[in-house]
Chains A and B, each alone.
Chain A
Amino acid sequence: MKDEVTREERVAGLKGMGCSRKRVEDARFTQGKGNYVDDVKLPGMLHGDFVRSPYAHARIKSINIDAAMALPGVTAVLTAKDLEPLSLHWMPTLAGDKQMVLADGKVLFQGQEVAFVVASDRYVAADAVELVEVEYEELEVLVDPFKSLESDVVLREDLVAEDGSIPPGAHGPRKHPNHIFKWEAGEEEATNQVIDNAEVVATEEMYYHRTHPCPLETCGSVASMDKVNGKLTLWGTFQAPHVVRTVASLLSGIEEHNIRVISPDIGGGFGNKVGVYPGYVCSIVASIVTGVPVKWVEDRMENLMSTAFARDYWMKGKISATKEGKITGLHCHVTADHGAFDACADPTKFPAGFMNICTGSYDIPTAYLGVDGVYTNKAPGGVSYRCSFRVTEAVYFIERMIEVLAIELDMDPAELRSINFIKKDQFPYTAALGWEYDSGDYQTAWDKALEAVDYKGLRAEQAQRVADFKAGKTRKVMGIGLSFFTEIVGAGPVKNCDILGMGMFDSCEIRIHPTGSAVARLGTISQGQGHATTFAQILATEIGLSADSITIEEGDTDTAPYGLGTYGSRSTPVAGAATAMAGRKIRAKAQMIAAYLLEVHDDDVEFDVDRFVVKGAPERFKTMKEIAYAAYNQAIPGLEPGLEAVSYYDPPNMTYPFGAYVCVMDIDVDTGVPEIRRFYALDDCGTRINPMVIEGQIHGGLTEALAVALGQEIAYDDMGNVKTGTLMDFFLPTAWEVPNYETDYTVTPSPHHPIGAKGVGESPHVGGVPCFSNAVQDAFRPFGNRHTNMPHDHWRIWQTANNLGLHD
């Protein structure tokens, strides 16, 4: 048989790795045909809604539900005392703490769940919420973690022994009733010695403000308990559906095989949908109690006020160097405000996430990190908002410390970075705080970025601008924001990464159908990342069937293999690796089938794009489609029928994507309004699966970085009232506020990942926040600015200019 199709055409036909295949998800999303939790409508379904606390700290004296129960259409009003017999009035958190499901005697933050109303429809439920009478006795509010650690006010009486002593927490001894943990990495004494004897030392304090992921879809769930067969089906906004199933089983006592968890389409997660929320638990209990399905979907204000926040780190840094700029030591202390319950979503052994990646992209021989977690009267959470665990905080910290050190040294910050980069030949590189960086080529990326933006030209322009400003010719200053970041993603090796005891492996199961198409199921769940597009591309390249013939399914625990879900840029590093490995198992069996069909030895055939060919005789081949058919219709000696594979992948290491970003900004010193003139982003995520999807990820992550750097915050007043409860005050950028982004790349494959990929979804956020912030700070550096805290909204920028005397 003559092959009339060229090899190039066969490669293109696969739509495998490296091509900008169009996203298969978009047909339904762009037509409004997605299927989200709130689209789940079941016969007889009831609706739940919360009575929430108006106070940040108060004792509950009484709850009267009579008027609410009297409202037609109200089925139940659950309070903590209804959940207590089931031991569900509290629930464990991912961080080893416990959290009230419904207020048990007191409330600890504004918006806390007090009672759960179940009614025939959403409108009746909302009316009934108004009718529940709760009598509160206000208590002293603690919103400042430093004051909390000195206060006599005990926030969590449940964590103090009867004799007044303070039992240790999940992460060791606690020094105060409002103290959660102290977590340390590195050598403090050695670091202090280096810093004390250094030629140059820069110190800085910075507050990384509290903010919140803002997915377009808020959190919600639908629980349906079938009392006849004892099965619970739970639809929800879950970034980790299998973990939810395990937790639901442990909490409810329902055997795990009787629980089916389904994550349907998810309208963005960004960490907001990793945790387990009281609404999920209440919908389950309500369905068990009522025997009918119960839906709970929060509104935007509830989402901003009560589900997982991000950041809220008070960071204190010391960095030392030689006069020539070689960094010798780094000391970092963090006071971490965790709110009322420690519900941080981190691997169990890492209560401050991977904050110990804070030595960044630099060869820093000696370092120390200490983190104190503190309770306050704020909402619990502490999720990784579009980043791996606390990596955004770490990168912001080091990228600010570098800038401050550059000021101390009177040196160009780009040059200071170059002097201190981990060199290409140092990889794999073990950092002072313990991580082993798998690969990198930082200088090449940095040089490429600086050249692309004509960095020298920009500095010359900036110098002229400063002169013009001082001469009264302009009221705009110019900032050049730099950042070079290294992420640590793809959690992670089971030996040190788990969530609630579940090792952070991931999985893929492939079934090849007789006609040469396939379905692959994974333990992850897309929230917009485009897994159905990109995982099919990995498989297409691995098994030689077109991506268009491969269906990717995720999110149904009855069908998908166990996995730890999607967050922390772990899908490609972990599940993507599992996918490649499962594909290779398919290919190995296909090789044996091909050899049988071609009547040669297994070793005499080799894989070529979409087929196995006889070595040295390329006209003799069997396509993967032919092989798939043979797997089901031939009795092949020594081989089972069928063509399926499953792989559970325990990554040997994390992956370390990196990038070089430059932002050019003009700032009106009189109004505080910044204009982003240019944003250049070079990303190295290793092997690139789909360049178009990567670019989309980068645009999205940069936009969320812009949001956080320039205005997005969850702010509280002294009484613990949330001041930023709606999208009027919580900054969510639109096309109007977003600049044009220029993207670029280098490729440094991960040496331990089967296809060399590293993950990319979060890089732009991690690198973007310090880049935008550094641009603002750099604009004021010539006028004496050293550091100002984010968010850089108009009035704070104006304040910076004002403090520097630029309005005089």
Chain B
Amino acid sequence: MIPAAFEYYRPTDMAGVIALLQEHGDDARVIAGGHSLIPMMKLRMADVPHLIDLQAIDGLSGITVSDGAVRIGAMTTQHDIIASAELAAAAPIMQEAALQIADPQVRYMGTVGGNVANGDPGNDMPGLMQCLDAQFHLTGPDGDRTVEARDFYEAAYMTDREDEEVLVAVTFAAPSGGYAYEKQKRKIGDYATAAAAVQITKDGGTVASASIAMTNLSDTPVWSEATADALVGTDCGDAAVKAAIAAMLGDIDPTEDNRGPVAFKRHAAGIVLGRAIARAWSRA
């Protein structure tokens, strides 16, 4: 559990980071909290000859909420998410989800930026960001650009981010209505066997809008428009939920691992989604 040798850099501005990334290409990686990258390096599954630490760069962390717009800096930790009363008011699903990520020690170090940028299908934030229809803000040698969270993930560990770009923040409009983040895991600290992020708005007795994303049930997060469509306009009763689950099952593609075979994961995904919808609807 000892990593191969690497050069460590701690630039103090983003220009310095970009310059290093340009110099070393895919031999370089930025490190935020390190709780995904360092274990991979220690297992020698990630070879990172040049490691660029973002800790010394100002302005990368912090949560702002204004006029219904939420901005979370990439270096904001999961613990910061949990501790922010402002965020809990604006987007309570963030807190509910962050409390189910890893364990308190990891959450003190693990960051939102690292969680969404790493492209690990087991991470909770990518699906959550797709549910919230977030934007990811990247900076690179050619300046800044914004990518929709729903367009960002290509395959496991493969994203739209270029090697020379850094993800600096996520933004999203504060959601309205009911919410739920439901996650089944084997133990504290585990990735999801299945997890569902749900936001629902209500108009009278029917679902006005819905957004649903599933985690660790494919090689990328699965934002399922069909699932939401199955709910919109319904009373969110048993038939609608059943239809939503059926739609979701058409969009996920889980693989067997130590958490269980595909049939179990598909069943668990349905249960988890059903519970998330029920809880979100009860809060809508």
Contacts and interface: CB of A to CB of B under 8 A. Distances in A.
A455 B263 CA distance: 37
Nearest to A736: B188
A388 interface: no
Contact of A715 (B2, B193, B258): B258
Interface in A594-648: none
Interface string A733-761: 11011000000000000000000000000
Given A123-B2, A795-B259, A672 B190 contact: no
A127 B5 contact: yes
B1 A301 contact: yes
B176 interface: no
Contact of B259 (A301, A670, A794, A802): A794
B264 interface: yes
A122 B2 contact: yes
Interface stretch (A164-172, A444-452, A721-729): A721-729
A130 interface: yes
Interface string B170-202: 000000000000001011111101000000000
Nearest to B271: A670
A220 interface: no
A794 B271 CA distance: 13
A162 to B, nearest CB: 43
B260 interface: yes
A798 B187 contact: no
Nearest to B259: A795
B261 interface: yes
A807 interface: yes
Interface in A658-685: 670-673
A724 B186 CA distance: 14
A731 interface: yes
Contact of A127 (B4, B188, B191): B4
Contacts of B193: 794-795
A122 B186 CA distance: 34
Contacts of A724: 258
Nearest to A798: B264
Interface residues of B, number: 25
Instruction: Select the residue from B191, B263, B264 with max chain A CB neighbours within 10 A.
Output: B264
Contacts, number: 66
Contacts of B2: 122-123, 126, 299
B283 interface: no
Contacts of B187: 711, 731, 733-734, 736-737
Contacts of B260: 793-795, 798
A573 B145 CA distance: 72
A300 interface: yes
Contacts of B24: none
A376 interface: no
Nearest to A733: B187
Given A671-B268, A798-B264, A798-B267, A731 B186 contact: yes
Nearest to A715: B258
Interface in B230-284: 258-261, 263-264, 267-268, 271-272
Nearest to B190: A728
A541 interface: no
B44 A729 contact: no
A807 B270 CA distance: 12
Interface in B20-56: 43-44
A369 to B, nearest CB: 33
Interface string A12-34: 00000000000000000000000
Interface string A701-728: 0000000000100010000000110001
Given A711-B186, A723-B258, A798 B268 contact: yes
Interface string A771-797: 000000000000000000000011100
A300 to B, nearest CB: 7
Instruction: Select the residue from A130, A301, A670, A737 with max chain B CB neighbours within 10 A.
Output: A670
A328 interface: no
A102 B24 CA distance: 40
Contacts of B189: 728, 734
Contact of B186 (A123, A299, A670, A793): A793
Interface string B9-22: 00000000000000
Nearest to B184: A671
A299 B259 contact: no
A191 interface: no
A672 B261 CA distance: 13
B173 to A, nearest CB: 33
A537 interface: no
Contacts of B1: 299-301
Interface in A290-307: 299-301
Interface string A167-185: 0000000000000000000
Interface of B: 1-2, 4-5, 43-44, 103, 184, 186-191, 193, 258-261, 263-264, 267-268, 271-272
Top 8 closest A-B pairs, CB basis? A795-B260, A126-B2, A736-B188, A299-B1, A795-B264, A670-B271, A729-B258, A798-B264
Interface of A: 122-123, 126-127, 130, 299-301, 670-673, 711, 715, 723-724, 728-729, 731, 733-734, 736-737, 793-795, 798-799, 802, 807
Given A671-B268, A734-B188, 16 more contacts: A299-B1, A300-B1, A301-B1, A670-B267, A670-B271, A671-B272, A728-B189, A729-B258, A731-B187, A733-B187, A793-B186, A794-B268, A795-B193, A795-B259, A795-B260, A798-B267
